[in-house]
Amino acid sequence: MSTRPPLLLVGHGTRSDAGVAEFTRLVGQVRARTGGRVPAVDGGFIELARPSVADAVVGLVAARSGGPGPIVAVPLVLTAAGHGKGDIPAALARELVRHPGLSYRYGRPLGPHPVLQNILAARIDTALAGAPRRDTHVVLVGRGSTDPDANAEIAKVTRLLWEGRGYGGAEFCFISLAEPSVPAALHRAVLLGARRIVVAPYFLFPGVLPDRVVTQSREFAAGHPRLEVAVAGLIGACDELAGLVLERYHEALGGDIRMNCDTCAYRVALPGFTDKVGRPQVPHYHPGDEAHRHAADIHAAHHDATQHHAANIDDHPGHRHDHAVHEHAAHEVLS
């Protein structure tokens, strides 16, 4: 029997059925890829969709003959922004209270990684349908964040995607919360001489924001009839992504975690974001979480989350907001 700890994949959550299905598909691909060498693999969301992290942890604990013990949690996030730095650790801290004896090692975000660059390039090639890269500008679209470090990483990912692949040019932008916007990046590419543009959404799974990328790209194209605009597919559940998840699992298991904290707004006083340094944090509340929590859990998890530099509240009764308008502005994260 394997002595390795179970693996928990943690996603943000989405109201998109297609997004939930794609997440579930990836969990199955990771499970199959382990070949039984990991005793249990499961996944859950911190909000918006089932299964919740709490549900997944209950399943992993039940799978262990000796009860609660160590697990490895890998955040299914592309950048080290609010969800990866705070929301997910806060949810995990709460599970430590609910399951005495439980412990966890926390993996780092999936990106940036050459595997992701290669997947993006493959999606772009599919959108090009044989057209040459040298005549194509790429516009990479990130989610956008109030975390400047996460936004800067999108610029880095764009440069890494452009280097050596022969595209005519590459721009980055965001679909919410940060500038430049998708139309602004498309306009810049046109000013730089683009006649063919592939918009590459830097998202794992379907959801509201990737749909918005498609809509805004089509609207821009409609106003520029001489411009060819295509939107590449999402990263999606694929064997390459499953392999990357397991790489992050083994990193966490071996203690080889190399997250960059030099430009983290929750440790370093960055201009314009000094109010975030050392900010106390509280966890998300999942819509199905009532079955798992009580007042003592909340108090203890709040304390643990603060001590672990963990996360925020979002989208529970009495505290709802639209991510497209305002991302955890009053409740962001710690690294």
| Cβ(313)–Cβ(284) below 8 Å | yes
Of 333, 297, 289, the C-alpha closest to 315 is 289
Q: Is 7 helix (H, G, I), strand (E, B) or coil?
A: strand
210 part of a folded domain: yes
Q: Please tell me whether residues 265 and 297 are part of one structural domain.
A: yes
Q: For the domain that residue 138 is a member of, what is the CATH number? A: 3.40.50.1400
Q: Please tell me whether residues 120 and 219 are part of one structural domain.
A: yes
pLDDT, residue 115, reads 95
> Per-residue pLDDT tens for 52-91?
999 999 999 999 888 899 999 999 999 999 889 989 999 9
232/199 Cα distance (integer angstroms): 6
Q: Please tell me whether residues 45 and 133 are part of one structural domain.
A: no
Q: Please tell me whether residues 190 and 264 are part of one structural domain.
A: no
Residue 268: pLDDT band with limits 50, 70, 90:
confident
Q: Please tell me whether residues 245 and 97 are part of one structural domain.
A: yes
Asked if pLDDT for residue 302 goes beyond 90, the answer is no
> Per-residue pLDDT tens for 273-301?
798 888 766 666 666 666 555 444 444 44
The range of the structural domain enclosing residue 177 comes to 114-231
**Domain total for the chain?**
2
Asked if pLDDT for residue 326 goes beyond 90, the answer is no
Q: Please tell me whether residues 244 and 106 are part of one structural domain.
A: yes
90 part of a folded domain: yes
Residue of 263 and 99 predicted with greater confidence: 99
| Cβ(63)–Cβ(6) below 8 Å | yes
Asked if pLDDT for residue 181 goes beyond 90, the answer is yes
Average pLDDT score over the chain: 85
Give one DSSP letter per residue of 218-247, joined into a string.
HHHHHT-TTSEEEEPPP--S-HHHHHHHHH
204 part of a folded domain: yes
| Cβ(127)–Cβ(198) below 8 Å | yes
Percentage above 90 pLDDT, the chain: 72
pLDDT, residue 300, reads 47
